[in-house]
Amino acid sequence: MPTGFRVSLPSRFPPFLTEFLQRWRRPTRRELLWALAALPTLLLAYTLLLIPFTPAISDIRKAKVDLPAQVLSSDGKLLTEFKWANRVWVPLKDVAPSVVNALVATEDHRFYEHFGLDWRRTASAALHTFSGERQGGSTLTQQLARNLFPQEIGRAPTLTRKLKEAITAFKIEALYTKPEILETYLNTVPFLYNAYGIEMAARTYFDKSADQLSVLESATLVGMLKGNSYYNPVLNPERALQRRNTVLAQMVKRGQLEAAQYTSLSKRPLRIDFERQVEDSGPVPHFAVQLRKWLIDWADDHDYNLYADGLVVHTTIDARLQALANQALARQSRHLQTLADAAWQPRRAWGPDSALVQSLVRETPEYRRAVDAGQNADDVLKALLKDSSFMGQLRTQKTRLQAGFLALDPRNGQVRAWVGSRDFGQEPFDHVSQARRQPGSTFKPFVYGAAFDEGASPDDTLIDQAVEIPLPGGEVWRPSDGGPPSDKPMRLRDALAYSKNTITAQLMQSVGPERVARLARAMGVNESPLEAVPALALGTSPVSLKEMVSAYSSIAHDGQYLAPMLVTRIENRQGEVLAEFDPAKPQRALSAQANYQLLDVMRGVVDKGTGVAIRSRYGIRADVAGKTGTTQDNTDGWFILMHPQLVAGAWVGFNDGRITLRSDYWGQGAHSALPIVGEVTAQALRTKLIDPRERFEAPPEGFFSQLAKGLRDWVQGLMAPKPVPVPQPVRQPAPEEVVAPEPAVPASEPVEVVASTVTLPASAPVSPISASSAAPTLGPVAPVSVPAPAVVPDDAVR
């Protein structure tokens, strides 16, 4: 140490530390030797401490074995596989030799000489790093360790990461031969565009298999490994070309390519044949997404690797029913899309003067970017409205019709078919479990169920009259049915069959919104919030299709809720059962007697009401019940049908609720969603996937129930007036019975609102139900036979 070297120490250090530092200001030669000897010892100790935090030998063994979980249907068909990545594993012998030569020459030319760590390369990289110029020194084995275990090793440029990487590399070298390491590396390295491994890279960039790659193509792919995005041959062809020639030069340097070949090959242009490789999603892609989420948690809890342990997952999906559902939804969607395309033609509804179209343009990223850049908002809007290409793409995106379908077995809650959208590749958003839409009149059964549970009878009557219900804030809710009320009594069973809003609103006042909301939650609508207000009776709170079909399954299961079930058992590849799953325990949501009354009333929907097309068009004669649903302005169409062995429901609409079919006919759930359910159910009955002879069984009546019913009938008989003969009009066919398309409606013609919600100030006259009026009651009024209306309005607020 030079003499006169002094270090002034802060006075705040404690005396013992000050003395220690003073001593080390002038260390002796022995102390320096001890310090130099302690550094590698400490490094070794730290390395040993890190060993338990690196991948285990068992994990490294599994990494080479590509045994993804297989997902099977209940009838033994392969539905999909859960792979770690979108790749096809190929043995090293099926990879072009030029790929291996280029890889070793460029990335690790001493690969066959070291045991996982290239000491000379590591020391050189360390010196360059200390001098301020970072340089990679990882061998192929170290890169493989990092690719296989990114979470365990990490990617931060720290000493800890490098030590973990080196430890794992030593383990890999101890377990695998050099060819096995190369094979594993080439099958796991990423190449952008969801392409993993050399086989998928060859297909993506050159439309060929890995064994057909030329020297130039091999060099291009190997060149990407230094930086996939930076040397992307699709987006950065000039950089990719330079990097390709660098790889060729390395091959010459390492004796893998002749100099004359390099001179010739390096002058050739970069040629690619790019095509994204879409991972096969199988027949139930949306179901598979839900299943994968659940299965990952299960595998973690039970110490299994979803992608390498060869799990065989037996699901509840019926492959035959799923195929029927896929076909039915695709067929009806194509038909309705044709109508949507006609309704939103550029020179009709989709015009530059439309306020809706202008609003949609203002919501696009192109508009926002231009305005954020300082351009005048009006000028940007005008320019985009004149851009035919932009407007065409926006129209296609916004007016693309969507649909969802779900079928459950009400006896055990098993999911039998699941279709989340028209095309998973174009629309991965799941309209079964993710979408929240207003259910419209499909929510009405909960109102009637609550009333029956409180003692009402399906044959009780209410007057079909104008209804005005005061709301907080001085507003008044006026539900209607698209036409003037008849002012005549109507039985509850007929009111639900014909989806009468005025009767349902009165019934809601009788039982109360809170009671209806509780029943809906108990029956299965238990994920979406329900606003306990009078309008809830007409389905104003958005819910999912999965919730609604689950709730209807409770109706079909004697009023008992069963949580939907996805998996029955899990095995390994040897057939050993690892886990079995039983249906959830039933939870009573509605009394058996009230539930059967509700079910019987809902039979009327398909026998004579808004769902009569199930009988007339699809020829279904089995014991079924259901309900249609349509929301305000025909935004959403719903239909759910119950059979003792299958409950199936469908939703049809657009992702943007402001877009509709612009048709009062096709916008109704009876004409948009019902055909999907009707076709699937009819085919399932025809092929005996469900038994057409099965019937809903009425619960046995106890002594007190029979006595109460007898007394009720006796009282009603005493109070009933003598029946007055009423001339019966000739029944006109309901619109559901009309199979032919409705006549074309001019785009300028306003769409009729089947039902509406109107609010007025509190000072406006309120009748016949006002703030001072008592809630409507279900008194013993004599039943009056009400003929079916000439035009059956499908539901309302809808």
Q: For 58-79, what is each residue's pLDDT tens digit?
A: 777 766 667 889 999 999 999 9
Asked if the model's pLDDT at residue 516 lies above 60, the reply is yes
8 Å CB contact between 639 and 602: no
Asked if the model's pLDDT at residue 728 lies above 50, the reply is no
Percentage with pLDDT > 90 across the chain: 67
Q: Specify the pLDDT at position 127.
A: 58
Confidence class for position 149, pLDDT limits 50, 70, 90: confident
Asked if the model's pLDDT at residue 395 lies above 80, the reply is yes
**Which residues are CB-contacts of 347 (< 8 A; sequence separation ≥ 6)?**
none
Q: Specify the pLDDT at position 64.
A: 66
Q: State the amino acid at position 197 in one-letter form.
A: G
Q: Specify the pLDDT at position 122.
A: 65
Cite the residue boundaries of each domain of the chain with CATH code 1.10.3810.10: 92-265
Q: Specify the pLDDT at position 148.
A: 84
Q: Specify the pLDDT at position 776.
A: 34
8 Å CB contact between 672 and 664: no
Mean pLDDT of 299-316: 91
Cis before residue 458, ω within 30 degrees of 0?
A: no
Cβ neighbours around 316 below 10 Å, total: 23
8 Å CB contact between 654 and 563: no
Q: Which residue has the tokens 């007190």?
A: 704
Percentage with pLDDT > 70 across the chain: 78
Which one-letter DSSP state was computed for residue 430? -
Cβ neighbours around 507 below 10 Å, total: 26
8 Å CB contact between 79 and 312: no
Mean pLDDT of 697-710: 69
CB neighbour burial string for 73-101, b if at least 16 within 10 angstroms, e if fewer: bbeebebbbbbebbbbbbebeebbebbbb
Which one-letter DSSP state was computed for residue 565? B
pLDDT digits (tens, 9 = 90+) for 479-505: 999 889 999 999 999 999 999 999 999
8 Å CB contact between 434 and 628: no
Q: Specify the pLDDT at position 169.
A: 87
Identify the residue with better confidence: 730 or 469: 469
Q: Specify the pLDDT at position 55.
A: 76
Confidence class for position 15, pLDDT limits 50, 70, 90: low
Confidence class for position 765, pLDDT limits 50, 70, 90: very low
> What CA–CA distances, in Å, run from 117 to 56, 110, 113, 763?
19, 10, 10, 86
CA nearest neighbour of 619 among 674, 679, 689? 679
Asked if the model's pLDDT at residue 797 lies above 90, the reply is no
Asked if the model's pLDDT at residue 393 lies above 80, the reply is yes
Q: Find the angle CA(139)-CA(143)-CA(149) to the nearest 5 degrees.
A: 145
pLDDT digits (tens, 9 = 90+) for 635-670: 999 999 999 999 999 999 999 999 999 999 999 999
Confidence class for position 153, pLDDT limits 50, 70, 90: confident
Cβ neighbours around 287 below 10 Å, total: 27
Confidence class for position 53, pLDDT limits 50, 70, 90: low
The two tokens of residue 638 are: 């719903």
What does the alpha-carbon distance between residue 442 and residue 525 come to, in Å, rounded to a whole number? 12
In CATH terms, the fold of domain 404-565+586-697 is Beta-lactamase (3.40.710)
In degrees and rounded to multiples of 5, residue 475 shows phi and psi of: -95, 165
Q: Specify the pLDDT at position 40.
A: 73
Confidence class for position 787, pLDDT limits 50, 70, 90: very low
Q: State the amino acid at position 419 in one-letter form.
A: V
What does the alpha-carbon distance between residue 312 and residue 566 come to, in Å, rounded to a whole number? 14
pLDDT digits (tens, 9 = 90+) for 309-354: 899 999 999 999 999 999 999 999 999 999 999 999 987 799 999 9
pTM: 0.76
CA nearest neighbour of 283 among 405, 413, 197? 405
Identify the residue with better confidence: 771 or 386: 386
Report the range of poorest mean pLDDT among 31-40, 229-238, 294-303, 365-374: 31-40
Q: Specify the pLDDT at position 63.
A: 67
Architecture of domain 92-265: Orthogonal Bundle (1.10)
Cβ neighbours around 266 below 10 Å, total: 17
Cite the residue boundaries of each domain of the chain with CATH code 3.40.710.10: 404-565+586-697
Look at the chain and count its residues: 798
In degrees and rounded to multiples of 5, residue 497 shows phi and psi of: -60, -40
The two tokens of residue 115 are: 């045991």
Cβ neighbours around 165 below 10 Å, total: 25
